[in-house]
Structure 1
């Protein structure tokens, strides 16, 4: 399942930190791949938007200096009618104004926990987001095998078998690498070697002919695949980067 990219904007850094952590917890509890960029300056988020940056969800305060949340939402709507906009505010008198920008929810700060849970649950349900959408089912040796693609670190070909190395366990199945590569197309896996298929989510660094995973495991990159591997990983990083730049704070 594609990672959900979200932006949170609140000019008060303490609230930005607390609300951001709570939002991340809600999605993490649902085992959803989720990336949240935090902005304490609405102007900086507006600049990102003007430069072509897009998010699936925007969480934002309304009463902010410079550009308020309603004006910022209007700017978002100039180029993106499909993004989900969720306001988080203590000023409930603004709730009807948010309808003008087709907001998805209005989270009251006085009822933050309950409103946030309802908003996240509703979003995941209406957008058919579930960890179940990452479940891969295949038939090997007359047996149905099910596993979560998001939990796979890498897959190694061992003669006529595949060793599927996961976060909590390994699966050894009789299956072709080419077939499972096709099955996992769209799940952010890179073929780095004739014997290795790697989940980009767990790559820590690519250096020369070596891939290091977050777990410390090193895997080889074949010489003729090196250029394409770097290109695919850079593309993945550009779409999923969780690095906070100075523009975001």
Structure 2
């Protein structure tokens, strides 16, 4: 598991890492910890790496309350977030950012419950076996095949669009490179800019594909027959 710890107090940061190492070791959970003292550094790491959990002070000095947490949630809805704060009154405000746990700094004994919850959620996610891992250069990208509606090419970047409309991640790559790796999971290239998960296809026309959320995305004229055949194959496979 990849974990980032963020706090502007270097002394407390080191103390928190030691306590978390103890808690994760109790459960025989291997972890790679990274410690940072600023929100910008935290966000950079989460953009460049696949981070599983973040333990952070949500009220960082010099930054608006929860600003970093808000930016983090824009990057990913899936990172497990635990707030460790001296501002105990912030617990209610924190709900907006969907944390797994809130630990007051004066009650670090609650880290045991927080770590247990993180490990439980992490193992549940792994057991669902719904992630496809793709490696491009030094970057690891995970595709959630159950919740990804389509991948869209924009310039030199690929955006992953989830079923709730959220853009999960944007990374530099070509659809041509991803297409063959996702083909067996019922992802089909319907347009030069779109790689669609057929789980979310509802009906096809000569010009577009209507999705289960009501959205329509274009189909290249040259791909209509191929997409129709693959859509029919998918429909037969789930009967």
TM-score (norm 2): 0.49
TM-score (norm 1): 0.48
Task: Considering Cα pairs closer than 8 Å and 6+ residues apart, tell me whether 1 or 2 has the greater RCO.
Answer: 1
